[in-house]
Structure 1
């Protein structure tokens, strides 16, 4: 672009919106009955979203003063997709809040610290009489806050599994009793580096950590319908970096079923050609990770089934809920100016550094869709 030409894209410095604000407006909209307006606003709510509840807990000790300091840092991204409706008018603002509920994190020490029935989580003897000081701090970064709003029956609440366990073990909590969908990062035992005291139980440290996590979910997320265990070696969740910040992207969860890794990925670049070692190693690595967490889930289920008398409520809770391995995808809708050779709409899979064709609703294209319906009589 010529240096004297004005910027054409909203994310470029110096961009100016020269459109007439009346373009595309319906000036008589305010004359419609309130019920009709609210119905239209409800239809305008975004597709189910991934709500990233980002927080971290740090701990330090002052042995000379016999004190323990624990700090809860919250940096939850704001929901930009809701802003237009929140700012449109009083009716749209009210309609948004009719459909969402507030999700917040209770400070450390608010509830009784969560412990298993087996007393393996006791504080070591040498720090047992230390005084604990709990602190909470909200991030001062732009577009972040200490709480968020979501549709509990539609949106997916994304959490770090290790941080959840630490939070509840230190007396914190999350208001997720009505949430139906969870996506857990760091759900692999290798990622759950929990600095919690205690010995192993059931002969497996991995099973102990999983038992601790799934016990918490069964108690504090009773409405849960589906849980995703995210497999992602790349940082796909930073909302403040390009391209997430400046483009109309939506995060989606892609289920890693038996057919997923055989999809027709494109745009991998020269080293990611269909016969390349890099692509094969990436696919096999992701499949290994999926098999790994599936194996751990089976070990966990066997462990709790052997202790039905002690964990009967947990056993019953997980009888009808099977965790699903998943990846995070960036959905590019067709409502943007993009000259890429990959047509819109499309799904970018950061863990694969590749693209998948997608439908307008954000679901990926099934290349076999229609064949089973035509030849096997499967439902459309």
Structure 2
């Protein structure tokens, strides 16, 4: 998707500048050409030599370089790229962009361009929350600038909150979305995947059988159509998709919290095989096998993630898709589940042992909506994912 795309990467002065080195490497792996520009403050965190070595191109630094500026080099730089990426985007540079200031190479490039711009903000949580920064953010969005992040987490300064720059692969995904001409460009889709593990003691747990392969395939298919994908996964065997905003969890309660934290979204696809029950009081130490009899375990219901999101009054995704893995009366049970949960679609499949679907490379599903049911032929999980992603695109476009 990024082969031969030209990215102008502006690196501003913040501790997150170290992530720009990994970002360059990831972009080059995917065939993109990266032209780096460093502010003077950025050079306090990363060196022009390290940046240019990874990019394979000169790192631009000085607006008044006579060799480059003889032909108005900053104008050419700003207009020859397919996309301008600012990572990290500091509060200072965002303020300059908002007010049209142009007193160095980076700010001049940003003012002199009609090329799309993507910013990955990075700053202290108090700086991010400050009314001035929030005003600048709103104005830049109104001006057509797109953003990825920031994430919430620990800061280099010791504080915690929003302001961490997105991880390099999250930025790569955002770049792919910005350059994509697919029907899901600009759409954010939440996908859950894999099983959950509900602990009994430190060595035992309750889980459903799920490899996570179908969820990974769905995430990849959505990204091919230009979507920004948030991928919340339990401890699955399948490889995690590249380029997603990845959130890894263990339990159903953790997945519920993660899903809430990742909304809003244009669509949500709940492919995870979430355990229905958990042990009320998991033991802190291994439960020993004794001759006195079997241990007594008290169970409680886990949160119903699909129903919770489907029935939201505020912030409900425009399209909510659930999965129903059944062994008996597949269509009847899945149809009843869709009505009970309140989701828009249910993807039903027969996972009885004879089918070999659970943990296998193929799937045979029926898509159930308020318009009825549509059986799809048995096919590879990647093919199922692409067909489902195409249907999601059709629904969101309408």
How does the TM-score come out when normalised to structure 1?
0.33
The structure richer in helix per residue is 2
How does the TM-score come out when normalised to structure 2?
0.32
